[in-house]
Amino acid sequence: MKRFILFLLPLISTLSISAWSGDVSIETPGTMLIVHAREGGDLRIAYYGTRATTIQQLRDAGADLNSSALPAFGTVDMVQLPALQVLHSDGDLNLELTVDSYEVKADDAATVHIFTMHDKLQPVTIRLFYKAYTRVDIIETWTEIENAEKKPITLKRYDSGHLVVRQGDVWITHMHGNWAAETEPTTEPLTAGVKIIRNTDGARNAHLDAPEVMISLDGRPQENTGNVIGAALCWSGNFELRFNTVSHKEHHFYAGIDPQSTEYILDPKQTFETPRLALTFSSEGLSGASRNFHRWARTEGMLHRGMKTGDILLNSWEGLYFDIDEQRMIQMMDDISKFGGELFVMDDGWFGNKYPRKNDSSSLGDWVVDKNKLPNGLSALTTAARERGIKFGIWIEPENVNTKSELFEAHPEWALQVPGRELKLGRGGTQLVLDMTNPKVQDFVFKVVDNLLTQNPEIAYIKWDANASIQNFGSLYLPKDRQQNLYVDYHLGLLKTLKRIRAKYPDIIIQDCASGGGRANYGLLPYFDEFWTSDNTDALQRIYIQWGTSLFFPANAMACHINHCPYWNTGGRVIPIKFRCDVAMSGRLGIELQPKDMTNTERQQTSICFADYKQLRDVVQTGDIYRLISPYDRKGLSSLMYVGDSSRRAVLFVYKTDNYYDQPLPRIRLAGLNPDATYVLTEKNVSVGQRPCSLSGKRFTGRFLMEVGIEVPLREEYASRVFGIE
Contact residues: ligand GLA, CB under 6 A: 317, 347-348, 395, 465, 467, 513, 515-516, 532, 535
Smallest separation (angstroms) from ligand GLA to the CB of 542: 14
Amino acid at 9: L
By C-beta, is 514 or 543 nearer to ligand GLA?
514
d(CA 626, CA 676): 19
Smallest separation (angstroms) from ligand GLA to the CB of 318: 8
Residue 699: is it exposed, middle or buried by C-beta count within 10 angstroms (0-12/13-18/19+)? exposed
By C-beta, is 244 or 316 nearer to ligand GLA?
316
Smallest separation (angstroms) from ligand GLA to the CB of 321: 8
By C-beta, is 516 or 672 nearer to ligand GLA?
516
Nearest residue relative to ligand GLA (C-beta): 348
Smallest separation (angstroms) from ligand GLA to the CB of 516: 5
List alpha helices for 512-647, DSSP H.
539-549, 577-584, 600-622
By C-beta, is 75 or 546 nearer to ligand GLA?
546
By C-beta, is 342 or 535 nearer to ligand GLA?
535
Question: What are φ and ψ of residue 605, in 5° steps?
Answer: -60, -40
d(CA 241, CA 231): 9
Pair 439, 490: CB distance under 8 Å: no
By C-beta, is 140 or 535 nearer to ligand GLA?
535
Smallest separation (angstroms) from ligand GLA to the CB of 374: 17
Q: Could you give the 3-state DSSP secondary structure of residue 118?
A: strand
Look at residues 360, 393, 98, 284 and name the one whose alpha carbon lies nearest to residue 671. 284
By C-beta, is 235 or 395 nearer to ligand GLA?
395
Pair 637, 629: CB distance under 8 Å: yes
Residue 10: is it exposed, middle or buried by C-beta count within 10 angstroms (0-12/13-18/19+)? exposed
Residues in contact with 216: Cβ distance below 8 Å, sequence separation at least 6, in sequence order: 170, 171, 172, 173, 222, 226, 227, 228, 285, 286
Smallest separation (angstroms) from ligand GLA to the CB of 549: 14
Smallest separation (angstroms) from ligand GLA to the CB of 341: 18
Whether omega for the bond prior to residue 29 falls within 30 degrees of 0, making it cis, is no
Smallest separation (angstroms) from ligand GLA to the CB of 291: 28
Give the Å distances, CA to CA, from 262 to 266, 418, 500: 11, 16, 26
d(CA 142, CA 231): 13
Pair 644, 650: CB distance under 8 Å: yes
Give the Å distances, CA to CA, from 274 to 202, 209, 235, 537, 643: 17, 20, 9, 35, 35
By C-beta, is 130 or 355 nearer to ligand GLA?
355
By C-beta, is 369 or 722 nearer to ligand GLA?
369
Smallest separation (angstroms) from ligand GLA to the CB of 351: 11
